[in-house]
Amino acid sequence: MHLFRKDVPLLGSGRPHASAGRVEAAPFGRSEAGGPDVGAFTLDNGLDVVVVPDHRAPVVTHMVWYRNGSADDPQGQSGIAHFLEHLMFKGTERHPVGAFSKAVSGLGGQENAFTSYDYTAYFQRVARDHLKTMMEFEADRMTGLVLDDAVVAPERDVVLEERRMRVETDPSAQLSEAMAASLFVHHPYGTPIIGWMHEIEELNRTHALNYYKRFYTPENAILVVAGDVTADDVRRMADDTYGRVTPQGARPVRVRAREPEPKALRRLAVADPKVEQPTLQRLYLTPSCMTARDGECHALELLAEVMGGGSTSYLYRKLVMERGVAVNAGAWYMGSAIDDTRFSVYAIPAEGVSLEKLEEEVDRVLRRAPSEALTPEAIERAKTRLVAETVYSSDSQSSLARIYGSALAIGESIEEVRRWPSDIEGVTPARLAAVAERYLVPQRSVTGYLTKTREADA
């Protein structure tokens, strides 16, 4: 799992009171060693429940995670998971459109929702005394959603406009989409979470309801409550609300194509007059925390920190401080995924340095990384930073809820979340060198150039 950094793509619904990050915006971390006394149980209808006590204030964060994301969109219906997330705010048989949001606002709370490749989540943050009210509303829209064309068509227009604003007018987002599509030639991680424009235009009420009926069931959901509560409190309220939802009998099966082993390096470029800063980006296909073997996930996570985690990292030191060919450089790893994922290296050229020259320097530095970057001192600094940042992240109640919810939604266990700091501490220099040499190789990569053109050239 990861800290709240730029590695897990999320797409928000744009609801009030919370940020709906960019398409490539990001993720969460793990709790500190030991951590809170987390409770977990499963209701009779199959709903998994996680309780994360935090008694510092009489406040709770209430989150419902569904084990479906954009990578589960049916072929030809890209963007349906995100579209349905929007439609979930359009009312139920019991509560008309806006009633849920009005109730949250009237109680002085906050709410939002987001879609990722592997999950969709809805959350509210309210005073402890209003937790059951949130459960009642959320349990109701798990099965009671009402849709008609009068709300579906306008909301589809909202999503289309969201795509225009976030992607169609943003060359950086266009490059990110193109690189993902090139890296994942067969797997749905190559399709943007928001969907392709021409497929969003065709989404309709039937698509949304079919998807809703398939995935929005108690046995496919995880309830996470973090805050001033006990497991017994949550169990009693959950039984009275979510426990009344009838299960479908079995969790829906996720059917995804497997990405073939890459054999050829790929290159692409986006040139646009709106580009203010040329950028070099590189993606490598790597295992995720769910597909890695023998601790490779933790090694890749630590490698990204050693290589590109800030101004003391190897890439920054070599490319910015010593060689002066870049004004910024770094790396990140998106380990929190069900299937094989991506490791990224990026650099922004200094004045007068071409992207071709910068790429040569990046490749030279990467070739030397196993022998130069992985010193005992650098590794220990990176471990300290990762674990310390996670401890700080875990001090937030909402972050704790996201930590556990995102982990369980992709198939990790509570024990794996709690064990993460010690797993990071146990990564050896030899393991770091091994994953660098195995995965950071040309045939597993996609290299992208973002460049500025003149209006006449464009």
* Site of tokens 């795509």: 163
User: Considering 24, 32, 85, 138, which one is annotated as catalytic?
Assistant: 85
Report DSSP state, residue 213: H
> Would you report the helix, strand and coil content of the chain in percent, each value rounded to 5?
45, 20, 40
Provide the pairing of β-strand 59-66 with 120-127: antiparallel
- CA 237 vs CA 103, 112, 136: distances in Å: 18, 22, 9
- Euclidean distance between CA atoms 162 and 115, whole angstroms: 14
84-to-90, 123, 142 alpha-carbon distances in Å? 10, 15, 12
Q: What is the DSSP string of 287-348?
A: --TTT--TTHHHHHHHHHHHHHSSTTSHHHIIIIIIS--EEEEEEEE----SS-EEEEEEEE
85 annotated active-site:
yes
Q: Do β-strands 39-42 and 341-349 pair in parallel, antiparallel, or remain unpaired?
A: unpaired
Q: How far apart are CA 347 and CA 360, in angstroms?
A: 12
Place of tokens 């590109």: 308
Residue 16 CB neighbour total at 10 angstroms: 11
Q: Which residues contact 58 (CB under 8 A, 6 or more apart)?
A: 127, 128, 129, 228
Q: Which residues form the catalytic set?
A: 85
